[in-house]
């Protein structure tokens, strides 16, 4: 079973445990504790962020540039106090206190009220040799009563991950299900939350690692890695938003995508000829199904050779793409990492890569081969900057003819030991001792990051996505781009959006998609989606329809399906499904001003676009296990339907008042209601005191100017800021953007909506603004960006 690759032998040697503190050295932000040969090192990075390292040998590895963006020394210096007693060393920052017990050495964290979190327990920290070259290090921490665990990157099952073992090892987990452990993404980050207190933990290791959240021993969390030393960043906050904010300062944030990437994407393996693509677009436009993007899967290539087009089926891609552009359609093409092994065939990608020595070699120096779509293939070493540069430049072949974005697949990387389809083929990885990264004689850091594949496996997809993003952004110098990747590591949000791979056309996968996307969001990856309708298998009309309803909530909204399955275009399931799909896709387009602002928030603070209720109601224990309702931003809550034949469903309304999206009816929260959910309706609610901007329906982003903006306001108290710019260029980086802050409050029996003057240098297209207070009235005015106060009785 591929997901257990990297698993440890079953006869486990005993642990060596960290000893007592013998000596302490304190220098600026770091405090080192000698514990026999082993050494514990703390770094006070920020008042809520501490880096903890332990090396059994006393020597630490050099810094790696791959995931953590700022060096520890680059953070603004924070002050802290140290107090030493015979039993412990106490370090106190503005936000937390941490104590290092001396006999034996144990690290313990406390909030300012003295509540413990992330406390070392049992052996505290231990290590052992696991056969040649594999040095395992672990840390045991107490799971506090009522503490729950979220994030962990891409995870199946429901929402709370407590009671699971979670392995971080990027894996082509095709046929994944609720029990699958290692997934395509390996993101060793989680947050632990309980009433009034919480923390996040980034396990800074790219080696095979695993979290055991109370399985082996109840109430004990174990972190383990085969990386030879322990290295984690711990982030304190009771508020998940603050934890994600700090975590994304550490690992980076996404760039603002073009608005078109937030529209509807239509995909299928495979739209395999110009004729088929033209017909598809014609259908979309004739049937008035809004759509911005068509994805071309592997069949556009010539014999699955990357950076080529099939000359027979796509004779003139440039012409095709420019015609599609006139219809407002952008094209995203798939690129896999495997390069067809094809000596003496004038296949430039192979020839150049071989000549320049850019492909992964085995430890014995021979070029490594695996089997993927083009048959025998070789694989670029994306860890090396010069390889990324070369690979990136190859994308010119695509961007020059008008390709707008790139989809990176198979980059765990996925491959077999013999041709696809051959009996008995096994999934393989590169050999663990294969060298990867820049040669050690490279002149300077970060070029000098030569490693073996044990350390770099989890980075392969991340670095491929990085190569792609950096290049395409340069090649399309005036336009923002869209990059999608299947595999990645912590920080993948800097380079790419992520989709959850090969799901199935089954109700269970629809149900699982939202908690999966929420946990990715809590792990810093905001631009995420699952294949609408399910990839493998045949969706039924009802499943497809319910999936499309939930799909409008996915930050990345794409319908996809596997070759030889039922097609997943909205008109494939009869007139009723088509009509309801159209209405929901239209709703997605109307919500774009709101959703675009959420992406701006994600780009500036790391906040997820799609959020579990827990994100905003972390003091409400009823949200701890709640996986079947979500928030899109802070204002809009949805309760999709996940089963056939269901026409009513239980909905939890957290504290406050909630307004039914469809009827405007008000409900008092802190209770459950039974919502009507006939086939055409996904229950949706607006939080009291919300301002939701809605644009007109368009067939694609920018089809016509945004000449009307409707603000749907719910009575109550609240504030919200709308972000705007041209939606596609980089001019916003030079200040061509604007924000408008809206406030709503209640005065006597009146609802007051205050609109502050627009800030910033972007002037939107002339437009009317309609302010609609739910249950009250509407007022309309020509928007000149000036401040206003409107009252509604």
* Strand, coil or helix: 283: helix
Nearer to ligand MIG, 190 or 509 (CB): 509
Q: Is 461 in the site for ligand MIG (CB under 6 A)?
A: no
Pick the catalytic residue from 120, 172, 299, 409: 409
Nearer to ligand MIG, 501 or 716 (CB): 501
Site for ligand MIG in 318-337 (CB under 6 A): 334
Q: Among 110, 152, 169, 269, which residue sits at the site for ligand MIG (rule: CB under 6 A)?
A: 269
The whole-angstrom separation of Cα 233 and Cα 490 is: 13
Nearer to ligand MIG, 124 or 533 (CB): 533
Q: Is 154 in the site for ligand MIG (CB under 6 A)?
A: no
Q: Count the residues of the shown chain that bind ligand MIG, applying the rule CB under 6 A.
A: 11
Instruction: Please identify which residue in the block is written with the tokens 């493998």.
Output: 536
Rounded least distance, CB 487 to ligand MIG, Å: 10
CB neighbours (10 Å) of residue 15?
Answer: 16
Contact 508, 502 (CB under 8 A): no
The whole-angstrom separation of Cα 29 and Cα 11 is: 41
Rounded least distance, CB 486 to ligand MIG, Å: 6
42 token code pair: 């703390």
Q: Please name the residues in contact with 748: beta carbons below 8 A apart, sequence gap of 6 or more.
A: none
Q: Concatenated DSSP letters for 88-144? A: EEEEE-SSEEEEEETTTTEEEEEETT--EES-EEEEEEEEEE-STT-EEEEEEEEPP
The whole-angstrom separation of Cα 486 and Cα 743 is: 40
Contact 111, 119 (CB under 8 A): no
Pick the catalytic residue from 299, 502, 531, 724: 502
Q: Rg for the chain (alpha carbons), in Å?
A: 27
Q: Is 176 in the site for ligand MIG (CB under 6 A)?
A: no
| Catalytic site includes residue 783 | no
Nearer to ligand MIG, 166 or 410 (CB): 410
Rounded least distance, CB 198 to ligand MIG, Å: 34
CB neighbours (10 Å) of residue 25?
Answer: 11
Q: Is 49 in the site for ligand MIG (CB under 6 A)?
A: no
Helices (H), 173-300: 240-251, 274-286
The whole-angstrom separation of Cα 331 and Cα 324 is: 8
Site string for ligand MIG, 525-554 (x = CB under 6 A): ----------x-------------------
Q: Is 272 in the site for ligand MIG (CB under 6 A)?
A: no
Nearer to ligand MIG, 314 or 652 (CB): 314
Contact 539, 547 (CB under 8 A): yes
| Catalytic site includes residue 357 | no
Q: Is 203 in the site for ligand MIG (CB under 6 A)?
A: no
The whole-angstrom separation of Cα 119 and Cα 197 is: 14
Rounded least distance, CB 332 to ligand MIG, Å: 12
* Strand, coil or helix: 321: helix
Rounded least distance, CB 532 to ligand MIG, Å: 12
Task: List the one residue out of 602, 581, 478 whose CA is nearest residue 533.
Answer: 581
Q: Is 412 in the site for ligand MIG (CB under 6 A)?
A: no
Q: Are strands 737-747 and 671-676 parallel, antiparallel or unpaired?
A: unpaired
Residue whose Cβ sits closest to ligand MIG:
269
Nearer to ligand MIG, 512 or 771 (CB): 512
Contact 657, 668 (CB under 8 A): yes
Q: Is 297 in the site for ligand MIG (CB under 6 A)?
A: yes
Rounded least distance, CB 504 to ligand MIG, Å: 12
Q: Is 772 in the site for ligand MIG (CB under 6 A)?
A: no
Nearer to ligand MIG, 260 or 535 (CB): 535
| Catalytic site includes residue 601 | no
Nearer to ligand MIG, 88 or 409 (CB): 409
The whole-angstrom separation of Cα 393 and Cα 410 is: 20
Q: Among 502, 511, 586, 772, which residue sits at the site for ligand MIG (rule: CB under 6 A)?
A: 502
Rounded least distance, CB 560 to ligand MIG, Å: 6
Nearer to ligand MIG, 80 or 184 (CB): 184
Rounded least distance, CB 413 to ligand MIG, Å: 11
Q: Is 199 exposed, middle or buried (0-12, 13-18, 19+ CB in 10 A)?
A: buried
Instruction: Please identify which residue in the block is written with the tokens 């952004």.
Output: 473
Distances (CA, A) of 582 to 284, 577, 744, 788: 10, 8, 32, 35
CB neighbours (10 Å) of residue 557?
Answer: 22
Q: Concatenated DSSP letters for 379-431? A: -B-TTSHHHHHHHHHHTHHHHTTT--EEEE-STTT--BSS-TT-TT--B----
Nearer to ligand MIG, 365 or 421 (CB): 421
Q: Among 501, 608, 654, 669, which residue sits at the site for ligand MIG (rule: CB under 6 A)?
A: 501
Rounded least distance, CB 269 to ligand MIG, Å: 4
Phi and psi at residue 2, to the nearest 5°: -60, -30
Pick the catalytic residue from 242, 274, 412, 724: 412
Contact 99, 174 (CB under 8 A): no
Nearer to ligand MIG, 562 or 682 (CB): 562
Asked if the bond preceding 709 is cis, omega within 30° of 0, the reply is no
Rounded least distance, CB 377 to ligand MIG, Å: 13
The whole-angstrom separation of Cα 187 and Cα 203 is: 9
Site string for ligand MIG, 555-574 (x = CB under 6 A): -----x--------------
Distances (CA, A) of 536 to 198, 417, 521: 38, 23, 24
Task: List the one residue out of 398, 395, 388, 517 whose CA is nearest residue 460.
Answer: 388
Rounded least distance, CB 461 to ligand MIG, Å: 12
Nearer to ligand MIG, 150 or 527 (CB): 527
Rounded least distance, CB 602 to ligand MIG, Å: 24
Q: Among 230, 254, 298, 603, which residue sits at the site for ligand MIG (rule: CB under 6 A)?
A: 298
Rounded least distance, CB 336 to ligand MIG, Å: 7
Instruction: Please identify which residue in the block is written with the tokens 């009250």.
Output: 776
The whole-angstrom separation of Cα 404 and Cα 626 is: 38
Nearer to ligand MIG, 485 or 740 (CB): 485
- Order the strands of the 691-694 sheet from edge to edge: 691-694, 708-713, 767-773, 778-783
The whole-angstrom separation of Cα 774 and Cα 337 is: 51
Widest distance between CA atoms in the chain: 82
Known catalytic residues are: 409, 412, 502
Q: Which residues bind ligand MIG (CB under 6 A)?
A: 269, 297-298, 334, 409-410, 486, 501-502, 535, 560
């Amino acid at each position: 079973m591929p997901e257990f690759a990297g698993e440890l032998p079953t006869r486990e040697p005993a642990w060596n445990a960290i000893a007592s503190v013998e000596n302490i050295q304190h220098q600026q932000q770091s405090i080192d504790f000698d514990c026999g040969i082993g050494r514990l090192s703390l770094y006070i990075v920020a008042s809520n962020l501490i880096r903890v390292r332990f090396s059994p040998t006393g020597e630490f590895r050099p810094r790696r540039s791959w995931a953590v963006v700022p060096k520890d020394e680059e953070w603004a210096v924070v002050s802290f106090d140290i107090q030493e007693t015979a039993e412990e060393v106490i370090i106190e920052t503005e936000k937390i206190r941490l104590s290092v017990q001396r006999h034996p050495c144990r690290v313990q964290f406390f909030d300012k009220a003295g509540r413990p979190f992330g406390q070392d327990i049992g052996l505290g920290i231990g290590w052992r040799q696991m056969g040649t070259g594999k040095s395992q290090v672990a840390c045991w921490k107490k799971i506090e009563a009522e503490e729950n665990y979220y994030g962990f990157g891409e995870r199946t099952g429901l929402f709370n991950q407590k009671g699971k073992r979670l392995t971080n090892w990027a894996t082509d987990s095709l046929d994944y299900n609720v029990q699958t452990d290692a997934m395509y993404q390996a993101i060793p980050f989680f947050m632990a939350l309980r009433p009034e207190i919480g923390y996040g933990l980034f396990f800074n290791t790219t080696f095979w690692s695993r979290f055991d959240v109370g399985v082996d021993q109840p109430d004990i969390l174990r972190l383990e890695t085969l990386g030879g030393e322990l290295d984690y960043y711990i982030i304190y906050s009771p508020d998940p938003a603050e934890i994600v904010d700090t975590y994304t300062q550490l690992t980076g944030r996404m760039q603002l995508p073009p608005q078109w990437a937030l529209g509807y994407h239509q995909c299928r393996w495979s739209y395999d000829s110009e004729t088929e693509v033209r017909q598809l677009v014609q259908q979309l436009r004739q049937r008035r199904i809004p759509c911005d993007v068509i994805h071309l899967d592997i069949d556009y290539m010539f014999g699955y050779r990357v950076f080529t087009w099939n000359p027979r089926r796509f004779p003139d891609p440039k012409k095709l793409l420019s015609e599609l552009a006139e219809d407002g359609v952008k094209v995203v093409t798939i690129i896999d990492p495997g390069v067809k092994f094809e000596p003496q065939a004038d296949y430039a990608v192979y020839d150049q890569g071989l000549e320049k020595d850019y492909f992964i070699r085995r430890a014995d120096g021979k070029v490594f081969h695996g089997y993927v779509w083009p048959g025998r293939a070789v694989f670029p070493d994306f860890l090396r900057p010069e390889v990324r540069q070369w690979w990136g430049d190859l994308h010119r072949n695509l961007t020059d003819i008008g390709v707008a974005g790139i989809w990176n697949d198979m980059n765990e990387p996925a491959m077999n030991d013999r041709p696809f389809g051959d009996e008995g083929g096994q999934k393989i990885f590169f050999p663990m001792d294969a060298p990867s990264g820049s040669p050690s004689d490279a002149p300077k850091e970060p070029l000098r990051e030569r490693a073996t594949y044990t350390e770099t496996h989890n980075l392969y997809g991340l670095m491929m996505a990085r190569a792609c993003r950096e290049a395409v952004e340069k090649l399309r110098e005036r336009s923002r781009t869209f990059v999608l990747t299947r595999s990645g590591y912590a920080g993948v949000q800097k380079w790419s959006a992520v989709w959850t791979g090969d799901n199935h056309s089954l109700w269970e996968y629809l149900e699982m998609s939202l908690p999966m996307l929420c946990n990715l969001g809590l792990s810093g990856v905001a631009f995420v989606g699952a294949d609408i309708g399910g990839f493998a298998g045949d969706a039924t009309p009802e499943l497809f329809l319910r999936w499309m309803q939930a799909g409008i909530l996915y930050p990345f909204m794409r319908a996809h399906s596997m070759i030889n399955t039922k097609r997943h275009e909205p008109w494939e399931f009869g007139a009723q499904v088509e009509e309801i799909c159209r209405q929901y896709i239209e709703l997605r387009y109307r919500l774009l001003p709101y959703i675009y602002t959420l992406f701006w928030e994600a780009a500036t603070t790391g906040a997820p676009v799609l959020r579990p209720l827990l994100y905003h109601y972390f003091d409400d224990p009823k949200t701890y296990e709640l996986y079947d309702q979500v928030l899109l931003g802070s204002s809009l809550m949805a309760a999709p339907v996940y089963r056939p034949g269901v026409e009513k469903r239980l909905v939890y309304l957290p504290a406050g008042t909630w307004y039914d999206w469809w009827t405007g009816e008000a409900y008092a929260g802190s209770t459950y209601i039974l919502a009507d959910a006939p086939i055409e309706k996904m229950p949706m609610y607006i939080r009291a005191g919300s301002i939701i901007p809605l644009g007109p329906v368009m067939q694609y982003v920018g089809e016509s100017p945004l000449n009307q903006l409707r603000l749907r306001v719910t009575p109550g108290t609240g504030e919200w800021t709308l972000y705007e710019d041209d939606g596609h260029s980089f001019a916003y980086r030079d200040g061509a953007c604007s924000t408008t802050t809206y406030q709503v409050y209640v005065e006597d029996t009146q609802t007051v909506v205050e609109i502050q003057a627009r800030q910033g240098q972007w002037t939107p297209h002339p437009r009317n603004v309609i302010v609609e207070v739910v249950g009250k009235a509407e007022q309309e005015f020509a928007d000149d960006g000036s401040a206003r106060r409107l009252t509604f009785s």
